[in-house]
Structure 1
Amino acid sequence: MDFDYTPQQQDLRDAVAKLGKRYGHEYFVRKAKAGEHSDELWQDAGRLGYLGVSVPEEFGGGGGGITELAIVCEELAAAGSPLLLLVVSPAIVSTIVNRHGTPAQRSALLPGFADGSLKMCFAITEPDAGSNFHKLSTVARASSDGYVLTGRKVYISGVDECSHVLVVARLADERTGKLKPALFLVPCDAPGLTASKLEMEIVSPENQFLLFLDDVEVPASALIGEDVEAGLPALFAGLNPERITVAAMACGVARYALERASTYAATRSVWGRPIGSHQGVAHPLAHAHIQVELARLMVAKAAALYDAGRDLEAGVAANMAKYASADAAALAVDTAIQALGGNGMTTEYGVATLLGSVRAGRIAPVSREMILNFVAQHLLGQEKSY
């Protein structure tokens, strides 16, 4: 049992933290409120190799795993710039392509993921299916030279920044006729694909969209893998890294909020003493810090299990990491705001701007209630409740 990062991993953490501090939370908020994207930060992270840390070296990447990508997600968030598309493009789509794409797909796409020049989004959630991806209504049917996709998707991040969207649809198995999950690479400018921006109460430079697929035609090469059998394994190959990196990002946001609050409490004097000398201020901050550190341990465990190829155990740990980190981040931000008092609600002090994102973290990409259902059923032997 080793709780230390390797020297290379620690160097990565330090380097990404340095980059993050060059931009910081003011940059993040300024871009969000101007309706702009964090392009400069993304491009710098790509140029320095941080976006491709989990891409194999043969395709220009760093040759690391989800552990390294989680470090990147956490440290940028800890600097006040949590980038959701780090989760979507490198963690989900790049991992799926790497593990389940055809040789041609890997050769064509992974170099772009490695240097950040290729950015893709991911579309699974639907207005009516909720958490039950077995009931997706988006379907694909075979055509003479490819596939035709029809359906709707909702809460799709970054469509306006990406070249392609990886769409999860259901495709008929030629042998059985049953509909099975299948993944398709769809150009964001494909005829029949329209995107409608959703207005969200979240301060973020990354936007959310409702997608409509109206007989969108894609070539046969758009299907991830050789056939429909690749769909389900490919889907889970992306969902576990999603949970792990979302959890890492939440831990980073929590660290940022607690650092702001701790500095404030140590320097803000009332009645001749720093407010942090009072247990009513110090203890809640200490409690939140403990919860964040516990969540970080579970993130590290989940990432290590995934990188070791222990997918079943990694799935369990990834869900727990996501649950723990979402709660810890919500607690940390709320506690930080309380410590700052009225200043905590101002844009200037940079804490309340995180409220929307940490609250959303308890809902997406999987709700805390569904994680509790999973743990109760699969780990504690309780009857399925849904």
Structure 2
Amino acid sequence: MDFRENDEQRALRVAVASLAAKYGHEYWVAKARSGEKTTELWAEAGRLGYLGVAVPEEYGGGGGGITELSIVCEELAAGGCPLLLLVVSPAIAATVIAKSGTPEQRRAWLPGFADGSVRMSFAITEPDAGSNSHRITTTARPDGDGWRLSGSKVFISGVDETDTTLVVSRLADARTGKLRPAMFLVPNDAPGVEYRPIPMEFTSPERQFTMFFDEAALPAESLVGGEDAGLGALFAGLNPERITVAAYACGIGRYAVARGAAYAGSRKVWDGTIGSHQAIAHPLAKSHIEVDLARLATRRAAWAYDQDDPATGEYANSAKYAAAEAAIGAVDAAVQAHGGNGMTSEYGVGTLWGAVRAARIAPVSREMILNFVAQHSLGLDRSY
């Protein structure tokens, strides 16, 4: 088991970091506060092939895996441009279609994911289900040659930037009548589909939405992978989601530590810089170590996913937990090092607090990760 990056992966990391530096955190914040989208950055990342690194070569992608995509997520975030849609669209939606979609769905969608012309939202969370996906009530029923979809979803990212949403629903088994998981490709402008923005208290160019499906009419080919895809299609996207969120959080942690260290190394209040005082230096050093450990956990999880390792679930959950905690600590240490300046817009660290705090909650809360580890890693009785 060797987690050292090869020459191509190192070159990818350098290239994406260069792109992030071209735009920078000021660009990201300006877009968030003006209500605009990071269209230019997304388009350039797509043109350069970074958004499609994990799409199979036969569909115009780079032919890599979640390892390469996590590098893209991390380096953009480390440059001050954390893009949540990288997790939602290339990591979840494109992976689900590549692994579980029909041949026709792969041909129709994957080339667009590869060049960035396709952006797709992902909808699983419901108002009354939360972390309990077994309580999902959004349901599809056959209707002639197609389907009718009814239900609602909440905290759906970037619906105003995408044309289609990959919706997790339930479908009655034709043999047993029992409901089982199924995913549908739902056009955001389809009759019966409505979405509304959710006012949020954190800085991000990507907005959150509630979606409603009122007997939305869908064609037969909107069912991802056919009626037998079920849980396999769903889980094809959940581990990549956790891994790329971990990479996203690690990148933010790196950015915060770098900003904190740069400020501490230049700010003079008494004799010498404030970075010469252990009260400032030690929290930053501690955060650097914690972020580095989280990066290692993330790399292990991505490697395991790309190798179809059966331990991927545990590794992905552990990486997401470690990265979220490390990122929160890093942003907090950076803000504290800046003092009052850490809470101003000018210094660009307080703007990240909402993003790292959300990473502790989504896509799966740290409590549910601890439940998973207690049950599956430690062999303890299920507590939920």
TM-score scaled by structure 2?
Answer: 0.99
Matches of 1:323 and 1:243, distance apart in 2:
9
Percent of aligned pairs sharing the same letter:
65
Alignment correspondent of 2:239: 240
> Do residues 50 (structure 1) and 50 (structure 2) align?
yes
Alignment correspondent of 1:65: 65
Deviations 1:136-179 (A, max 9, x none): 01000011111100000000000000010001110001111110
**Amino acid aligned to 1:256:** Y
Alignment correspondent of 1:285: 284
**Amino acid aligned to 2:85:** L
> Secondary structure at the residue paired with 1:361?
helix
**Amino acid aligned to 2:268:** S
> Do residues 78 (structure 1) and 78 (structure 2) align?
yes
> Secondary structure at the residue paired with 2:30?
helix
Alignment correspondent of 2:297: 298
Task: Select 1:318's aligned residue among 316, 319, 325.
Answer: 316
Matches of 2:351 and 2:208, distance apart in 1:
17
Matches of 2:270 and 2:152, distance apart in 1:
59
Alignment correspondent of 1:257: 256
Deviations 1:201-225 (A, max 9, x none): 1100000000010000101100001
Task: Select 2:361's aligned residue among 360, 363, 368.
Answer: 363
**Amino acid aligned to 1:287:** K
Structure 1 residues 129-278: aligned runs within 5 Å: 129-227=129-227, 229-278=228-277
Matches of 2:80 and 2:59, distance apart in 1:
30
**Amino acid aligned to 1:242:** E
**Amino acid aligned to 1:260:** R
TM-score scaled by structure 1?
Answer: 0.99
Deviations 1:55-95 (A, max 9, x none): 01110000000000000000000000000000000000000
> Secondary structure at the residue paired with 1:202?
coil
> Secondary structure at the residue paired with 1:170?
strand
Maintained 8 Å contact 2:3/2:300: no
Deviations 1:228-277 (A, max 9, x none): x2021010000000000000000000000000000111111121211111
Structure 1 residues 13-32: aligned runs within 5 Å: 13-32=13-32
Provide the aligned C-alpha RMSD in A: 0.6
Alignment correspondent of 2:8: 8
Shift of 1:3: 3.5
> Secondary structure at the residue paired with 1:40?
helix
Shift of 1:4: 1.7
Q: What is the count of residue pairs matched by the alignment?
A: 384
**Amino acid aligned to 1:59:** Y
Matches of 2:3 and 2:98, distance apart in 1:
28
After TM superposition, where is structure 1 displaced by more than 6 Å over at least 4 residues in a row? none
Q: Which runs of 5+ in 2 are unaligned?
A: none
Matches of 1:356 and 1:76, distance apart in 2:
17
Matches of 1:106 and 1:210, distance apart in 2:
28
Matches of 1:365 and 1:12, distance apart in 2:
26
